[in-house]
Amino acid sequence: MKELLNYHISVVYGDIGLSNFWSTFQTNVKYIIFAATLAFMIREWKAKAVGKMVMTFIVGSILFALTLNPETVLQPIGQKLMQMIGA
Protein backbone atom coordinates (compact mmCIF):
# COMPACT_ATOMS: atom_id res chain seq x y z
CA MET A 1 0.00 0.00 0.00
CA LYS A 2 2.83 2.39 0.86
CA GLU A 3 4.51 1.79 -2.51
CA LEU A 4 1.24 2.48 -4.31
CA LEU A 5 0.78 5.70 -2.34
CA ASN A 6 4.35 6.82 -3.07
CA TYR A 7 3.87 6.04 -6.78
CA HIS A 8 0.58 7.96 -6.83
CA ILE A 9 2.13 10.98 -5.08
CA SER A 10 5.11 11.08 -7.44
CA VAL A 11 2.91 10.73 -10.54
CA VAL A 12 0.41 13.36 -9.44
CA TYR A 13 3.19 15.64 -8.20
CA GLY A 14 4.88 15.52 -11.60
CA ASP A 15 1.65 15.64 -13.63
CA ILE A 16 0.39 18.86 -12.13
CA GLY A 17 3.74 20.56 -12.58
CA LEU A 18 4.87 20.78 -8.98
CA SER A 19 8.17 19.00 -9.51
CA ASN A 20 10.03 22.32 -9.78
CA PHE A 21 7.69 24.27 -7.51
CA TRP A 22 9.75 24.00 -4.34
CA SER A 23 13.04 25.04 -5.95
CA THR A 24 11.30 27.97 -7.68
CA PHE A 25 9.66 28.94 -4.40
CA GLN A 26 13.01 28.78 -2.60
CA THR A 27 14.67 31.12 -5.08
CA ASN A 28 11.80 33.64 -5.19
CA VAL A 29 10.51 33.62 -1.61
CA LYS A 30 12.70 36.58 -0.65
CA TYR A 31 10.80 38.76 -3.15
CA ILE A 32 7.45 37.54 -1.82
CA ILE A 33 8.49 38.34 1.76
CA PHE A 34 9.79 41.76 0.73
CA ALA A 35 6.56 42.65 -1.08
CA ALA A 36 4.37 41.35 1.75
CA THR A 37 6.38 43.25 4.36
CA LEU A 38 6.14 46.43 2.34
CA ALA A 39 2.37 45.98 1.88
CA PHE A 40 1.81 45.36 5.60
CA MET A 41 3.99 48.35 6.51
CA ILE A 42 2.01 50.64 4.19
CA ARG A 43 -1.26 49.35 5.63
CA GLU A 44 -0.10 50.00 9.20
CA TRP A 45 1.26 53.43 8.22
CA LYS A 46 -2.12 54.38 6.77
CA ALA A 47 -3.78 53.22 10.00
CA LYS A 48 -1.28 55.38 11.92
CA ALA A 49 -0.06 52.37 13.91
CA VAL A 50 3.64 53.14 14.07
CA GLY A 51 4.42 50.41 16.61
CA LYS A 52 2.88 47.73 14.43
CA MET A 53 4.71 49.15 11.42
CA VAL A 54 8.06 48.90 13.20
CA MET A 55 7.31 45.34 14.33
CA THR A 56 6.33 44.43 10.77
CA PHE A 57 9.64 45.84 9.57
CA ILE A 58 11.61 43.85 12.16
CA VAL A 59 9.83 40.54 11.51
CA GLY A 60 9.98 41.04 7.73
CA SER A 61 13.68 41.85 7.90
CA ILE A 62 14.41 38.71 9.91
CA LEU A 63 12.41 36.54 7.50
CA PHE A 64 14.10 38.20 4.51
CA ALA A 65 17.55 37.60 6.01
CA LEU A 66 16.73 33.95 6.72
CA THR A 67 15.57 33.34 3.17
CA LEU A 68 18.54 34.97 1.43
CA ASN A 69 20.23 31.57 1.49
CA PRO A 70 17.49 28.96 0.94
CA GLU A 71 19.74 26.04 1.82
CA THR A 72 19.90 27.16 5.45
CA VAL A 73 16.19 27.32 6.23
CA LEU A 74 13.90 26.31 3.38
CA GLN A 75 15.65 23.22 2.07
CA PRO A 76 15.39 21.26 5.36
CA ILE A 77 11.73 22.26 5.66
CA GLY A 78 11.03 21.08 2.12
CA GLN A 79 12.80 17.79 2.72
CA LYS A 80 10.81 17.23 5.90
CA LEU A 81 7.55 17.94 4.06
CA MET A 82 8.49 15.47 1.34
CA GLN A 83 9.24 12.84 3.99
CA MET A 84 5.88 13.50 5.65
CA ILE A 85 3.92 12.97 2.44
CA GLY A 86 6.09 10.01 1.52
CA ALA A 87 7.47 11.31 -1.77
pLDDT, tens digit, for every residue of 53-87? 999 999 988 888 877 776 677 667 767 777 777 65
Nearest Cα neighbor of 57 from 45, 41, 43, 68 is 41
Q: What does the pLDDT read at residue 1?
A: 58
20-65: pLDDT as tens digits: 666 777 778 888 888 999 999 999 999 998 899 999 999 988 888 8
Q: What is the pLDDT of residue 61?
A: 87
What does the buried/exposed string (b/e) look like for 34-43 if buried means 16 or more CB atoms within 10 Å of the residue's CB? eeebeebbee
